[in-house]
Amino acid sequence: MKVLIVYYSTYGHIHKMAEAIAEGVNQVEGAEAVMRRVPETLPEEVLEKMGALDAQKTISHVPVCTIDELAAADAVIFGTPTRFGNMCGQMRQFLDATGSLWAEGALVGKVGSVFTSSATQHGGQESTILSFHVSLLHHGFVIAGLPYSFQGQMGIDEVKGGSPYGASTIAGGSGERMPSEIELEAARFQGKHVAEIAKKLKA
C-alpha cells in the first residue's frame, strides 16, 4: 500500500513536516511512504532574493511528482505553506494539471489529507487546509484530518500549530522557527492515521 506525500517547501519547514508524516505512515504494517515535491515555478534569481535558494537545494534530492503517481497511490497527503490563507501557487499549478485524472475519476475513493505552515500563529493555517479540501472533494477523495484523539493539539501550555483539519507549524516572520516536537508528533499521527484508513479501504 502506497501513501504519497506531495508537498512544496520554500524554506524547509514543510519538508521537515513531510518527513515526520512519512515516519507516521511507515509505522503502519504494509504501508510505504513516498515523498515527492511539486515543480518549482519561480526562477532561481527570485528564490535567491527571497533567501530560499539554499533551502531549495537541501531538498533537491526529493523527486518531482508526476500526475501518474497520484493515480497509482492509495492515499495522498498534501503539504503546502499558506499564501494569504490559501495554498501556494506551485501547488495550485500542480493541481490544475490534474484535469485528466478528474475526467477519468482516477482519484475517487482515495484518502486525501493536508498539512501546512504559516509565518504567524493566525496566518491562515485553517483556511488553507479547508480551501485545499475543495480541490480534493472535486476529485472524489475521502478526506482525513487530525482527530482530537491526538491529544497534543489540546492545551495552552505552548504556542503550537495543529487543528482537527490537519497538522501545521508556525515558521516565524523570517522562517527562524522550525517545527516543534509537538508539531512533528502531530504530523506523525496524521501520517499514521491516513495510512490506517487507506489500509482499511484497500482491504
Q: Do the annotations mark residue 127 as ligand-binding?
A: no
What is the chain's alpha carbon radius of gyration, rounded to the nearest angstrom?
A: 16
As averages over each run of 10 residues, the pLDDT of the chain (203 residues) reads 97 97 98 97 91 88 97 98 97 98 98 97 96 98 98 93 97 92 98 98 93
DSSP string, 21-57: HHHHHTTSTT-EEEEEEPPP-S-HHHHHHHT-HHHHH
Alpha carbons 199 and 203: distance in angstroms, whole number: 6
Q: Is there a binding annotation on residue 148?
A: no
Is 193 labelled as part of a ligand binding site? no
66 is in an annotated binding site: no
Whether 33 and 25 have beta carbons less than 8 Å apart is answered as yes
**Neighbour tally for 32: CB within 10 Å:** 15
**Helices first, then strands: H and E counts in the chain:** 8, 6
Task: Phi first, then psi: give them for residue 108, nearest 5 degrees.
Answer: -65, 130
User: In this structure, is the dihedral angle defined by the CA atoms of residues 40, 44, 48 and 50, taken in order, positive or negative?
Assistant: negative
Q: CA 164, CA 144: separation in Å to the nearest integer?
A: 9
Is 169 within any annotated ligand binding site? no
Any known ligand binding at 14? yes
List of domains in the chain: 2-202 (3.40.50.360)
Residue 102, annotated ligand binder? yes
Is residue 98 a known part of a binding site?
A: no
Rounded to 5°, angle at Cα 61 from 57 and 63 = 120
* pTM over the 0.95 mark: yes
The x, y and z cell numbers of residue 69, run together, are: 503517481
Distance CA 146, CA 187 (A): 9
41 is in an annotated binding site: no
* Per-residue pLDDT at 61: 95
Q: Which residues pair with 34 in a beta bridge?
A: 4
Q: Tell me whether residue 7 is annotated as binding.
A: no
* Structure confidence at residue 174 (pLDDT): 84
